[in-house]
Amino acid sequence: MTLDLLRFTTAGSVDDGKSTLIGRLLYDSKQVFEDQLEHVAAASVRRGGEGTLDLALLTDGLRAEREQGITIDVAYRYFATAKRRFIIADCPGHQQYTRNMVTGASTADLAVILLDARKGVLEQSKRHAFISALLGIPHVVVAVNKMDLVEYSQERFDELVVEFAGFAAKLGGRAKLVYLPISALEGDNVVELSPRMDWYDGPTLLEMLEQVEVAYDHPHDTPARFPVQWVIRPFTRSPSLASSATPPTSASLAPSSAPSAGPSFAADSAGEDYRGYAGQLASGALRTGQEVMVLPSGQRTRIAAIDTFDGPLEEAVAPMSLTLRLEDELDVSRGELICHPEQAPVVGRELQADVCWLNDRPLRPRGRYLMKHTSRHATAVVEELYDRVDVHTLERTDGPEELALNDIGRVRLRTSVPLAFDPYRGNRRTGSFILIDEATNETVGAGLVVSDS
C-alpha cells in the first residue's frame, strides 16, 4: 500500500535557491495560479525588481516578511501530480531556525536539504541535516543546487557528496540519503531529466518525491498504538451541551428528532450500552477479535468491533481515525493506550529525552512543565540536564546550566502520571511530546523520548 500523500520539508535562506526550487515545483506542476502570479509580478516591480519574477514573494505570507524580505514562519504549500498529493513545510533558515525546522520536520516523511554547488556544505545545511536526523525523518534528499554555475561538473558534485556523507556519518541518523544534482533556476533534474548532466542516471527530484515509501506503508511491521482520545457514549449527555440554554439574542433551531446515525451504526450496536473508544491509530494495524491490552492499567480484553461512520472494519491500519468497542466492560478513558499485549510499549514515570527548546525563557534543572504526550496530559519535572548541543557548531557541552531558545539537550524527566511510550526512533507518535509553560500556556519545548530512565 502506498499512501498517495507525502509530507516533506525544505529549509534554507533566501539566497540558496530554496524559494526558486519550490516555485519550480509549484509552477511546473501548475499549482501557481494566474492571480498569484499577477500579485508577484506587481510586487516584484514595486520592490524594484527589473521585470523579473521574484518567486520568493509567492511563499512569503506576512506583511512584515514582504517588507523586510525575510521569512518568519513555517509556511505550508500544496501541490499534486497524477501520482501523489504533496504538503511542503517550508521553513525559513535564519530566524528562529531550530524552532521552525523542528516544527516543519516533525510531520515530514522526507527532507530536501539544499547545497549550493559553489559553496559546499555550509553551516545551515549541516544544521538542517542534524535536525532531520534528530527528528527521525526517514528519507533525506541532498539536492546539490546551482549546478549551472559549476558547469554541470560531475567532479564537483562527487566532491560534495563525499564531503556531505562524511558529515552525515557523524550524525548517526538512520535516514536513507540520496544525492541529486539540480539547477532549480534552469529546471535541471527537478521535474525533467537534465540533458546537460548525462553522467547522472538517477531519478529527478519529482520522481523521488512521487515514489518514496512513507512510514504508513508497512502497518503490519509496526506495533499497534491506539491512544484513546474520546469516549463515545450516545446516551450520556455531555455537561457542555446540557448547560447551553437558548441564548436571548439568537434564533435557535432545535429539532426534536434524534440525531441521524450513520449507516454503520445499526440498531444492535447503537443500543443503550454503546460505549466506543475513539482515536486515531498512531501506528500499526488492529483486527476485530484480537486480544488487546489497555495501558497503563494493563487490563486485557478483545476487540469486539472496529466502527467507522462508513461501516465496521475487519482490520484498521494507521493513520485511520476509528472507534473501538471492547468485549469486556472496562473503564477506559482519554489518555490511555490500546495495544497488543505481546508488543507493549514502556510504561513509566521516568524517561530520558532530547528536548528542543522553543522559548525565550530557558529550561533549567528542577523546572516544572505541563506535558502533552499522545492524548495524555501530565506534569513533568526536569530531574537532570545532561548536555547541550550547540546547533551552530554541533558541539556538545556536558552539564550545562540551561537550555536557551534554539538549544537542544538531553534531559531526564519525571512525570506525575505513568505514560505509555516508545523510543522516538521506534515510533514518532508515541515517542514525542510537547512541554507547555504552566503560567503562559505557551508551547516551550519539543521532546523526543530516548529511553526509560
Partner 1 sequence: MSVAARPQLSHLRALESEGIHVMREVAAEFERPVLLFSGGKDSIVLLRLAEKAFRPAPFPFPLMHVDTGHNFPEVIEFRDRRVTELGERLIVASVQESIDRGRVAEETGPRASRNRLQTITLLDAIAEHRFDAAFGGARRDEERARAKERIFSFRDDFGQWDPKNQRPELWNLYNGRIHKGENVRVFPLSNWTELDVWEYIDQEELEVPSIYFAHEREVFKRDGMLYAWREGTELIDGEEVLSETVRYRTVGDMSCTGGVRSQAATLEEVVLEIAATRITERGETRADDRVSEAAMEDRKKAGYF
3 state SS of 452: strand
- Binding of residue 60 to partner 1 (CB under 8 A): yes
Spatial contact of 169 and 207, defined as CB atoms under 8 Å apart: no
- Binding of residue 77 to partner 1 (CB under 8 A): yes
Question: Checking DSSP bridges between strand 376-389 and strand 139-145, what pairing results, if any?
Answer: unpaired
Alpha helices per DSSP H over 32-71: 34-46, 56-59, 63-68
Residue 143 and residue 201: Cα distance in Å, rounded?
15
294-314: burial string, b at 16+ Cβ within 10 Å, e else: bbbeeeebebebbbeeeebbe
Which residues, 221 to 250, sit near partner 1 by CB under 8 A?
Answer: 229-230, 232-234, 237-238, 240-241, 244, 247, 249-250
State which residue, 246 or 398, has the beta carbon closest to partner 1.
246
Q: What are the grid coordinates assigned to 182, written together?
A: 539540480
The count of chain residues that interact with partner 1, using the rule CB under 8 A, is 97
In order of 13, 74, 188, 419, the CA distances from 77 in angstroms are: 17, 10, 22, 35
State which residue, 78 or 199, has the beta carbon closest to partner 1.
78
In order of 130, 154, 168, 445, the CA distances from 394 in angstroms are: 8, 29, 12, 19
State which residue, 81 or 183, has the beta carbon closest to partner 1.
81
Four-residue CA torsion sign, 441, 444, 448, 450: negative
Residue 86 and residue 112: Cα distance in Å, rounded?
13
State which residue, 232 or 344, has the beta carbon closest to partner 1.
232
What are the φ/ψ torsions at residue 219 (nearest 5 degrees)? -60, -25
- Please work out, in degrees rounded to the nearest 5, the angle formed at the alpha carbon of residue 304 by the alpha carbons of 298 and 309: 115
Give least dist CB 309 to partner 1, A: 4
Give least dist CB 244 to partner 1, A: 6
Q: What are the grid coordinates assigned to 394, written together?
A: 554541533
State which residue, 36 or 397, has the beta carbon closest to partner 1.
36
Give least dist CB 281 to partner 1, A: 9
Which residues, 378 to 417, sit near partner 1 by CB under 8 A?
Answer: none
Spatial contact of 423 and 405, defined as CB atoms under 8 Å apart: no
Which residues, 175 to 214, sit near partner 1 by CB under 8 A?
Answer: none
- Binding of residue 308 to partner 1 (CB under 8 A): yes
Residue 42 and residue 380: Cα distance in Å, rounded?
51
Give least dist CB 294 to partner 1, A: 17
Judged by CB under 8 A, which of 34, 50, 395, 398 binds partner 1? 34
Spatial contact of 14 and 56, defined as CB atoms under 8 Å apart: yes
Interface segment toward partner 1; rule CB under 8 A; list 31-39, 152-160, 186-194, 339-347 = 31-39
Give least dist CB 51 to partner 1, A: 19
Site string for partner 1, 314-333 (x = CB under 8 A): xxxx-xxx------------
Judged by CB under 8 A, which of 155, 162, 251, 329 binds partner 1? 251
Which residues, 333 to 362, sit near partner 1 by CB under 8 A?
Answer: 334, 358
Give least dist CB 432 to partner 1, A: 5
State which residue, 162 or 267, has the beta carbon closest to partner 1.
267
Q: What are the grid coordinates assigned to 23, written together?
A: 516555485
- Binding of residue 69 to partner 1 (CB under 8 A): no
399-433: burial string, b at 16+ Cβ within 10 Å, e else: ebeebeebbbbbbbbbbeebbbbbbbeebbbbbbb
Q: What are the grid coordinates assigned to 389, written together?
A: 548541543
State which residue, 176 or 237, has the beta carbon closest to partner 1.
237
Q: What are the grid coordinates assigned to 180, written together?
A: 541529486
Site string for partner 1, 129-168 (x = CB under 8 A): ----------------------------------------
Judged by CB under 8 A, which of 128, 410, 412, 428 binds partner 1? 428
Site string for partner 1, 259-298 (x = CB under 8 A): xxxx--xx-xxx---x---xxx-------x----------
Give least dist CB 237 to partner 1, A: 8
State which residue, 102 or 168, has the beta carbon closest to partner 1.
102
Judged by CB under 8 A, which of 15, 45, 47, 61 binds partner 1? 61
- Binding of residue 426 to partner 1 (CB under 8 A): no
State which residue, 233 or 302, has the beta carbon closest to partner 1.
233
Give least dist CB 356 to partner 1, A: 9
Report how far apart the first and last C-alpha atoms of the chain are (Å, whole number).
37
Give least dist CB 433 to partner 1, A: 7
